[in-house]
Chain A
Amino acid sequence: MIPEIGHYALILALCVAVVQGCLPIYGAAVGNSMLMSVAKPAARGQFLLVLLAFCCLGYAFADKDFSVLYVAATSNSQLPLHYRLAAIWGAHEGSLLLWMFILSIWMVAVSFFSTHLPEAMRARILGVMGLVSVGFLLFMLTVSNPFERLIPAALDGRDLNPLLQDPGMVIHPPMLYMGYVGFSVAFSFAIAALLGGTLDAAWACWSRPWTTVAWCFMTVGVAMGSGWAYYELGWGGWWFWDPVENASFMPWLAGTALMHSLAVTDKRGGFKAWSVLLAIMAFSLSLLGTFLVRSGVLTSVHAFATDPKRGLFILVFLAVVIGGSLVLYAWRAPRVGLGGGFAIISREGMLLANNVLLVAALGSVLLGTLYPLFLDALDLGKISVGPPYFDTVFLPLMTPAIFLMGIGPLAQWKKASLPALALRLRWAFAVSMATAMTLPFALGQWTPLISLGLLLAIWILTTILVDLRERLVQAEGSSLGGRLVAMPRSYWGMVLAHCGVALFIVGVTMVKGFEVEQDLRMNVGETATIGGYTFRFDGTQEVKGPNYLAARGTFHVTQDGRDVAVMYPEKRRYFVQNQTMTEAAIAPGLLRDLYVSLGEQLEGGAWSVRLYHKPFIDWIWGGCLVMALGGILAISDRRYRLAWRRKEAAVPAATQMARQIVS
């Protein structure tokens, strides 16, 4: 009964979505405010219906209702409750429901935080979001229904893929989807602007916080995916340029470009048409990513059985959304205008260069990801594009972008002078050059790449310091603390996010340059030394988990005779799917991770073992977190709150609610 309620709720949600997608947009076109006012209640009603459906599916999982096909396929009676609930998004159907649920969360958020927008704008935004949800609900109800019954019911479920039975897996998909789907808000703002034909600085000011929030979630989501691969796949890599990773990375790149381009639209009124195009691009890539990953086109832990009907629906849906919005763009963008002019050497110019580079990088990732799929689809042979391709292309494109990242914030809007910039930055450049050339020697090894990586990281930090100092000198106020506090939070947000990039670069550089990896055979009692750490293997013992049996190894790690850590890597065998899983042991640290994973058991209690020493690897994810924190700090800036407050007199109740949630 419960699954049928969920199914019914989805059908009702579709009806509401159709209403939400049609009436308000039509109302906005003819200026009928009654039709426009349908948008808000429709969005909230749709949220409640999708919430109900989501809870029904959750209940079916918690209740071990194996008469639901999806539950039977992705869970098992031995699976602990939290993983049964996480299994809601463990495969295709449920993850689409999660997508839909998160879309409805964003819709409700827009309905609450949009009281300051003109009514037609809000109606169009919610209308466009309604149309997107029509597409997803139709997809679920026609070819991908999570509530489909299995008759007769299975005695027990086929279990969740053991790779996904991990705390990171519980939180990574919702985070990533918050980002993916969050770009639908930026997209809807863009389409609404195209429909309305007005696109001014106020529009950019409104859509900036939404874009930034989505970008923050996206950043954390991608970082978590990378962290999951690091500790769960058991071979210590953190990024493989796997198509699945690329699918989440491409919208992130587009979103990053969009954030920077919106800054120009907001502050200077420039880059209007470009911002709109980027918003369309970011969301299109989110859709592409969702479908690439979830449709089975790509094979990975994320992908599931292919169904040609689904593939066709997906292609048509993508064509309608991307094609439709691009046609609309081509038709309406000339009205929107290009915005004010500027010199090539100016902050706008640098942000434009940053955008071009980011989009070029995006294009190269897209090519490397889709080309093998096209060849395969056309039956021209099977190829793969490996990490070397992406490394070769990505580094030269990102290096100038990061170099400009240091200069951009110091350059004046409209027109800057190159000699003056050079003069202001000469110390930053000299310090970073000198450190980058010498520091690798101190660390024990000099290669051009290590030097370049450190140069870029230190360049970001030193230019930030220069910028900060100049601003402090110019700022009003007597005390240093007062002047620091007086600077807008959006500025601090940018500083923090850029520092995050620097931390990230340090992490990548140090790992790539100094990591030590060793695969070896170890007998019980034998020791091995890597990176100054001595690992002693003390044998394995059998350990029983809730739904698996594991061989747990014990490794004592010492450094110069001092005890550092005791590590317990495991080799697990999950009963239901009879699948072996490597569970690595990691001793994390600020400056290095130690990483041990078990290979195979050899004769006489010996094992083949992987021992890694990974300097600074946690800085990679730490840097991403700092970037996301920077984004959050930036949207807490006064000017966005002022935008909400401005309408206070007109609609006090709703604004108060908005403010409560903001503060």
Chain B
Amino acid sequence: MKPRHKRFILIGLGLVALGVAAMLVLNAFQSNLVFFFTPTQVANAEVPKGRGFRIGGMVENGSLTRESDGLTVHFVVTDLAKRVPVTFKGILPDLFKEGKGVVAQGQLGADGTFLASEVLAKHDENYMPPEAAAALAKAKAAGAQSSSTLVVNPR
């Protein structure tokens, strides 16, 4: 084999490896991207059916209830325009609190309840997950444009 041929084969192998990697990546990407939606978008049925996504907003004050097994909890995530009921079975993170920001990942059930598989509320006391903050800001901006009836300020 001439060196030139060898180089071609090497480059060819490299390209094949690259192609395989790219294929794997794109494939995995397509099936594992998790999109983020606000409660308003959920209420407007803009969310994908039968596929996981994230919602974010504030845990509504007084909405947290616990079933007798001590693990299953129900709460409401709101962007102060629309509300989405959420059910989660498991231990909530330390920083989960009513009136604070939260992001949950899961699927929308048939009855419109969001069945969370994961609840994220890391960070410190005053911290608002950026997704949740964005959801609140968006709803506020939309509310200000469309009607003046909604006069609730996110803190």
CB-CB under 8 A from A383, the residues of chain B are: 33-36
From A397, which residue of chain B is reached at the shortest CB distance? Answer: B21
Judging by beta carbons under 8 Å apart, are B94 and A519 in contact? no
Judging by beta carbons under 8 Å apart, are B34 and A384 in contact? yes
Contact of A382 among B105, B122, B131 (CB under 8 A): B131
Contact of B95 among A235, A381, A579, A608 (CB under 8 A): A579
Judging by beta carbons under 8 Å apart, are B6 and A388 in contact? no
Judging by beta carbons under 8 Å apart, are A389 and B29 in contact? yes
Question: Contacts A389-B28, A577-B125 hold; do A360 and B17 have CB atoms under 8 A apart?
Answer: yes
Judging by beta carbons under 8 Å apart, are A344 and B71 in contact? no
* A529 on the B face (CB < 8 A): no
Contact of B91 among A577, A606, A608 (CB under 8 A): A608
Q: Which of B8-16, B75-83, B106-114 is found at the contact surface with chain A?
A: B8-16
Judging by beta carbons under 8 Å apart, are A367 and B25 in contact? yes
Judging by beta carbons under 8 Å apart, are B94 and A386 in contact? no
Contact of B6 among A341, A381, A581 (CB under 8 A): A341
CB-CB under 8 A from B24, the residues of chain A are: 364, 392-393, 396-397
State how many angstroms separate the Cβ of B26 from the closest Cβ of chain A. 9
* A558 on the B face (CB < 8 A): no
Judging by beta carbons under 8 Å apart, are B90 and A519 in contact? yes
Contact of A577 among B21, B28, B29, B124 (CB under 8 A): B124
CB-CB under 8 A from A606, the residues of chain B are: 70
State how many angstroms separate the Cβ of A478 from the closest Cβ of chain B. 43
Report the separation of the CA atoms of residues A341 and B90 in the bound assembly, to the nearest whole angstrom.
59
Contact of B21 among A363, A392, A602 (CB under 8 A): A363
Judging by beta carbons under 8 Å apart, are B71 and A386 in contact? no
Report the separation of the CA atoms of residues A606 and B69 in the bound assembly, to the nearest whole angstrom.
11
Instruction: Count contacts between A and B, CB distance < 8 Å.
Output: 109
From B3, which residue of chain A is reached at the shortest CB distance? Answer: A341
Judging by beta carbons under 8 Å apart, are B91 and A599 in contact? yes
Report the separation of the CA atoms of residues A352 and B71 in the bound assembly, to the nearest whole angstrom.
52
Question: Quick one: which of B58-101 are within 8 Å of A by CB?
Answer: 66, 69-71, 89-92, 94-95
State how many angstroms separate the Cβ of A161 from the closest Cβ of chain B. 6
Question: Contacts A364-B21, A385-B34, A579-B125 hold; do A356 and B14 have CB atoms under 8 A apart?
Answer: yes
CB-CB under 8 A from A220, the residues of chain B are: none
CB-CB under 8 A from A389, the residues of chain B are: 28-29, 32-33
State how many angstroms separate the Cβ of A468 from the closest Cβ of chain B. 30
CB-CB under 8 A from B35, the residues of chain A are: 381-383
State how many angstroms separate the Cβ of B9 from the closest Cβ of chain A. 6
State how many angstroms separate the Cβ of A517 from the closest Cβ of chain B. 10
From A520, which residue of chain B is reached at the shortest CB distance? Answer: B71
Report the separation of the CA atoms of residues A629 and B11 in the bound assembly, to the nearest whole angstrom.
35
Question: Contacts A344-B10, A382-B131, A383-B34 hold; do A600 and B91 have CB atoms under 8 A apart?
Answer: yes
* B134 on the A face (CB < 8 A): yes
Report the separation of the CA atoms of residues A389 and B21 in the bound assembly, to the nearest whole angstrom.
13
* B18 on the A face (CB < 8 A): yes
Report the separation of the CA atoms of residues A445 and B29 in the bound assembly, to the nearest whole angstrom.
30
Residue among B28, B34, B71 with the most chain A CB within 10 A?
A: B28
Report the separation of the CA atoms of residues A368 and B30 in the bound assembly, to the nearest whole angstrom.
11
* B155 on the A face (CB < 8 A): no
CB-CB under 8 A from A581, the residues of chain B are: 94
Report the separation of the CA atoms of residues A341 and B92 in the bound assembly, to the nearest whole angstrom.
59
Number of B residues, CB within 8 Å of A: 40
Contact of A381 among B13, B36, B123, B124 (CB under 8 A): B36
CB-CB under 8 A from B94, the residues of chain A are: 234, 579-582
Report the separation of the CA atoms of residues A600 and B24 in the bound assembly, to the nearest whole angstrom.
41
* B48 on the A face (CB < 8 A): no
Judging by beta carbons under 8 Å apart, are A344 and B29 in contact? no
CB-CB under 8 A from B9, the residues of chain A are: 344
Judging by beta carbons under 8 Å apart, are A301 and B123 in contact? yes
CB-CB under 8 A from B10, the residues of chain A are: 344, 352
Judging by beta carbons under 8 Å apart, are A344 and B6 in contact? yes
Report the separation of the CA atoms of residues A101 and B21 in the bound assembly, to the nearest whole angstrom.
39
* B154 on the A face (CB < 8 A): no
Q: Mark B112-153, 1 if CB is under 8 A from A, else 0.
A: 000000000011110001110010000000000000000000
Report the separation of the CA atoms of residues A300 and B105 in the bound assembly, to the nearest whole angstrom.
17
CB-CB under 8 A from B105, the residues of chain A are: 386
* A610 on the B face (CB < 8 A): yes
State how many angstroms separate the Cβ of B38 from the closest Cβ of chain A. 10
* A474 on the B face (CB < 8 A): no
Judging by beta carbons under 8 Å apart, are A393 and B70 in contact? no
CB-CB under 8 A from A367, the residues of chain B are: 25, 29
Judging by beta carbons under 8 Å apart, are A578 and B25 in contact? no
Report the separation of the CA atoms of residues A383 and B32 in the bound assembly, to the nearest whole angstrom.
10
Judging by beta carbons under 8 Å apart, are B123 and A382 in contact? no
State how many angstroms separate the Cβ of A585 from the closest Cβ of chain B. 15
CB-CB under 8 A from B89, the residues of chain A are: 519
Report the separation of the CA atoms of residues A317 and B6 in the bound assembly, to the nearest whole angstrom.
40
Q: Mark A536-579, 1 if CB is under 8 A from B, else 0.
A: 00000000000000000000000000000000000000000111
From B17, which residue of chain A is reached at the shortest CB distance? Answer: A356
State how many angstroms separate the Cβ of B77 from the closest Cβ of chain A. 15
CB-CB under 8 A from B32, the residues of chain A are: 385-386, 388-389, 392
Report the separation of the CA atoms of residues A388 and B13 in the bound assembly, to the nearest whole angstrom.
27
Given contacts A235-B91, A384-B36, A580-B95, 18 further A-B contacts (CB under 8 A): A234-B94, A300-B123, A344-B10, A356-B18, A360-B17, A367-B29, A381-B35, A382-B36, A385-B29, A388-B31, A389-B29, A396-B24, A397-B24, A579-B94, A579-B124, A581-B94, A600-B92, A610-B91
Name 25 A/B residue pairs within 8 A (Cβ), A-sorted: A161-B124, A299-B129, A300-B123, A353-B17, A357-B17, A360-B18, A367-B25, A382-B36, A383-B35, A384-B54, A385-B32, A386-B34, A389-B32, A392-B28, A393-B24, A397-B24, A519-B71, A519-B91, A520-B70, A577-B124, A579-B95, A579-B124, A599-B92, A602-B70, A608-B70
**Across the A-B interface, the 7 shortest Cβ-Cβ residue pairs:** A521-B70, A599-B91, A389-B32, A382-B36, A360-B21, A392-B28, A580-B94
Which B positions have Cβ atoms within 8 angstroms of A? 3, 6, 9-10, 13-14, 17-18, 21, 24-25, 27-29, 31-36, 54, 66, 69-71, 89-92, 94-95, 105, 122-125, 129-131, 134
